Amino acid sequence: MAVVKLFGAWLSPYCYRVIWALKLKGIAYEYIEEDLSNKSPLLLQYNPIHKKIPVLLHDDKPICESTVILRYIDEIWPQNPLLPADPHERAVALFWIKFADDKSPLISKLFRTDGEEQQAVAKECFEMLEVLEEHALIGGKKFFGGDEINMVDIAFCSVAHWLGVIEDFAGLKIFEPHKFPRLNSWIQNFKSVPVIKDNLPDTDKMLALLKRRREMLLASKSS
């Protein structure tokens, strides 16, 4: 039987994308936690270009970049498909996944900046949410994937969980339910899905780590 291993980091939304996909498909895997401040030789060997997690190892073959991994998983294990079968619908889904990929780094940038720079990032985040509210969730669907979550829902996990935690940490208010009613419904629905609910990083743990990281960041900036 083929062995599946996942190199990840418990705080990374990109890592959770892969975990959820594997669980939705019922694939057994071994999880290896990476210390991102001290990356293992194995990780550097499997992802020499980007040196990042997540990395999926299937039959000793590494696959890097979370979206590439998700598409690979969906093709190798076709049960519980994560993308529409119709080519045009699939193209639309891929469009939104790319949008999520392009914009998600803004959320972690919120945490790494302050003052005017942070304000500018916050504005970009707000605009991203506006696009989702206006263009992506029309039609009153429960999820981006329709009645069930699919790869698009998974791709927007940063908006569903990480944004709120970083907002709390930084004392920002970008997402407000009354301003984004469709997005708000989606977030509630998404976080109620059992495989998501049972596999999300603990908020308190996240806040504690963010605080430590922020202190280290400021210390290195002033030194």
Cα gap 3→147, rounded to integer Å = 32
Nearer to another protein, 49 or 219 (CB): 49
Taking the complex as a whole, the smallest distance from the CB of residue 29 to another protein amounts, in Å, to 16
Residues with Cβ within 8 Å of residue 138, at least 6 apart in sequence: 182
Taking the complex as a whole, the smallest distance from the CB of residue 159 to another protein amounts, in Å, to 16
Nearer to another protein, 99 or 111 (CB): 99
Cα gap 15→7, rounded to integer Å = 8
Number of H helices, E strands in the chain: 11, 4
Nearer to another protein, 128 or 187 (CB): 128
Query: Is residue 185 within 8 Å of residue 177, measured between CB atoms?
Result: no
Taking the complex as a whole, the smallest distance from the CB of residue 67 to another protein amounts, in Å, to 8
Taking the complex as a whole, the smallest distance from the CB of residue 170 to another protein amounts, in Å, to 27
- The amino acid that residue 59 corresponds to is D
Nearer to another protein, 92 or 209 (CB): 92
**Any bridge partners for residue 30, and if so which?**
5
Judged by the rule CB under 8 A, the positions of this chain that interact with another protein are: 49, 58, 61, 63-65, 67-69, 71-72, 75-76, 87-88, 90-92, 94-95, 98-99, 131, 135
